[in-house]
Amino acid sequence: MSNMAIIKNNIDCPCGSGLLIQQCCIPDVLPITLNTQTRIKLNRQRMAQVVDDSGNHLGFIDLSQLGIKMQASLGKYEQIDPAIENAIYPAAKFHGILDKPKDFQEQYFKHLDALWDVLHAVRYHQRNFLFRLRKLIIEYSVDFSMVQPGEGVEITYDDVPLRLELESMILRLISTLDVFAKIAGTLMGKGFNQDKDLWSYLLATHKNKNRPVSSALYEIYTKYSWIRDLKGIRNAITHDAIFLGYTGMKFQDTLFSMPYVNELKSDHFAFRVWKELLQMTREILLTVTSKYESSF
Ligand SMILES: [Zn+2]
């Protein structure tokens, strides 16, 4: 019954945050996030007031219930996810940038803002995906509990919303790579707009000893093998409108199996990719900012 472990609330989150799972990647209530229509104001009671663009009050959300901790923010945004802030903050504090022309600084911080947004978008879809997955497992485990073992029930249930959350998460992951390329390109003085621009540059230059940033970035990119998988999935979704590496949930003899992504359990996929994306964000930002002044 190890497939059912994800239902338990009182276990540490597999993402390694140290929080309980329901306070982290699989919330008890659907996660909130910022979009262009809503703003969140924090009051002293740490309740978030959600307002629309005209300032109309839409409601309050208790952030402590969602397991969100308050920390010093970058200034422009209210705190939403400390893990994302911790990944971006070293680059935001990069002092060499303050000696650069104003338009250069604006470009750089614009890309950091975009990175902030897209990481929150990945996080949002990850949490929605895991939330719905858990909900389906609970509902259908109950429904099928009346079936006796050996009766041979086998149903594949391809839940469309679940699949869409997974696809949305994957598309945002690819967008994150594009933002990495823009940040690296700004610091290198190159016009990288997409991950593939940066990647072809790295392929061409990483062996050049005079290009330590290229070598370092190349090492980072090759270390995260899921990038190759993601690009395949993204292409399958956007070009063929189908992703054959995804298989829906199966019910067999009342036992429940997870949906799979490229033969990896989808919850493991969602946890692993998110955790590694944050790690990769830190590595890339530290690499391009710390080596920036000495290298270009
Ligand atoms: Zn977590």
Instruction: State in Å: Cα 25 to ligand 1 middle.
Output: 4
Distance from Cα 84 to the centre of ligand 1, integer Å: 12
Share of the chain above pLDDT 70, in %: 73
According to DSSP H, which parts of 241-291 are helical? Answer: 266-290
- The domain boundary, picked from 70, 96, 121, lies at 70
230 is in which domain, residue-wise? 80-295
Q: What is the pLDDT of residue 26?
A: 85
Ligand 1 mean position, distance from CA 269 (Å): 13
Confidence at residue 107, expressed as pLDDT on a 0 to 100 scale: 86
Considering the domain architecture, whether residues 54 and 193 belong to the same structural domain is answered as: no
Half-sphere exposure of 13 (CA within 13 A, CB side): 21
Write the CB contacts of 75 (distance below 8 Å, at least 6 apart in sequence): none
pLDDT tens track for 227-238: 998 998 998 888
pLDDT for 135 equals 85
**249 and 217 share a domain?**
yes
DSSP annotation of 241 reads S
| pLDDT, mean of residues 109-121 | 88
Q: Are residues 104 and 53 in the same domain?
A: no
Q: Is residue 93 part of a domain?
A: yes
Residue 169, pLDDT score: 95
Structural domain contains residue 162: yes
- Predicted local confidence at residue 27, as pLDDT: 80
- Per-residue pLDDT for 122 more than 90? yes
Residue 9 lies in a domain: no
CA of 276 to the centre of ligand 1 (A): 12
Q: How many domains does the chain have?
A: 2
In which order are the strands placed within the sheet that holds 264-265? 246-247, 260-261, 264-265
Which runs of consecutive H residues, i.e. helices, occur in 144-159? none
Residue 15 Cα to ligand 1 middle (Å): 4
pLDDT of residue 152: 60
